[in-house]
Structure 1
Amino acid sequence: MGHAAVLSLLPILVVFDAIEARAESCPTAKDELATDRPDVTNSSLVVPTGSLQNENGVNLTARDGGRTIDGTNTRWRLGVAPCLELLIDLPSYVGSLRAPATPGFTDVAPAVKWQVSPFPGKFDLSIVVGAALPTGAVDIAGRGTQPYVQLPWSYELQGGWGVSGMLTEFFRPEESTARHVTEATFVLEKKLNEKFSVFTEYVGDYAQSAGPTQLINSGGLYHLSPKDQVDFHVAFGLNRNSPSYIVGVGYSFRIDDLFGSHSTRETSRQF
């Protein structure tokens, strides 16, 4: 092979080396469960390749004198490649406990999540692109397909402290009002020990041609094992547009090595 051919291959080799190095730093089955709940802010990390994560919860909400309960708020997350996952929010049922409240199902919402990080340091960032499909009750979920884009991020501080947040752009083209909603969140969290963490979160929804919805959401999560957890949260509205309060509990778990990747690696080491 001539010198010119070798030089032409160098950029390609550099790119492949960078991709391989980045893949090695993506989450693996050895890492602890990292969920998108109980806070509104999603995890900045994807699930490991070949892992299926099941996140569930139930909420009690008070708004305008009414009471509703919704569940099971199930999200399935499947790692399909290094730093890449497919996720889907299954329909949840919203039941009326006290009028005024409207019962019915939410939309099913598939999405793709790509972990852009890890960058040098302790900063992590992901990009999520998805859409709520028109499968639920209009009075609860709205009309038509509703695409969204999310940017969840996190930064690890010292002493078990951390900060995180998320910016989300929701698009509702078939709605007569509030066709565009921007949601911003910010979280301060503290890891009290190896199993128990607590957090306080600000959540603000800013709709086009409508007043904002603002919440303070606090709670915690406890790891029963590295692959399953229980959680709780309590949120209070900060203005008249917001729910009076939301109380929720949940349980999540992860199943690893669905693609037989561990067996493949072990076999490859033997040759």
Structure 2
Amino acid sequence: MTDSASAGPARTAPDPIAPDVWHLPFPVGHVYLVRLSDGGYAAVDTGVPGSAPVILDAVTRLGGRPDALRQIVLTHSHIDHMGSAADLVAATGARVLAGAADAPHIRGTAPEPPPVLTPTEKPLLEQVLTGMAEAGTPPLKQVRVDVELHDGDVLDAWPGPAHVLHVPGHTPGSTALHLPAAGVLFTGDLIGAGTDGRVVLGPFNVDRAEAVASFRRLAALPGVDTLCVPHGTPVRTGAARALAAATPETDWL
């Protein structure tokens, strides 16, 4: 279920996961690319620092110039999600969109709140951090946030309405994106998935009870068939059944 941090992904064509949506797997923190209605692309998250060349190569493989990356949507402020945003902005001029409550942490104007770890989560976090260090992950660069997102916002130029959901708990400003016409949900770290299609509450939350409530909110969304999760294996079909069977209250204890 968790990612390995030992090596970066090969520069291969991104994997189509839904119409106009591609999965770009990374050892820690997957990235998703979305073709916009104006011919450009959006990235949902950016991987750890140092991932920008792979993301730009993927945009090129999809038929766009690297500067066709127009939007970067950060689901939250953690290093494996915002890590390459600054480099991508420098290369493309893309706008950065992120949840309003996480924007100060992304900009670097306020310290990031630490997670409250369960006994099961403590060794897992140590494993992830050790793997990133051994992989030579570059230092994090802060980045501007051009658009602060709020619950109920709808993103411009996406292939069908892209609804913004404020789902706090993993971080104060964690954000999910719901594309109801396509049945696609970008979950952020609130939800992870295994190779067996089982979905679980993501670990390392600042407020576990709040995260469980946000998980349940996402599980109640109608018509969700595909889960674009940042860790584990994307759920390509049958997501509603997996969400209904989930037991986030007991995960990671």
Q: Compute the TM-score of the two structures, normalised by the length of structure 2.
A: 0.27
Larger radius of gyration: 1
Q: Which has the higher helix share?
A: 2
Structure with the higher strand share, 1 or 2: 1
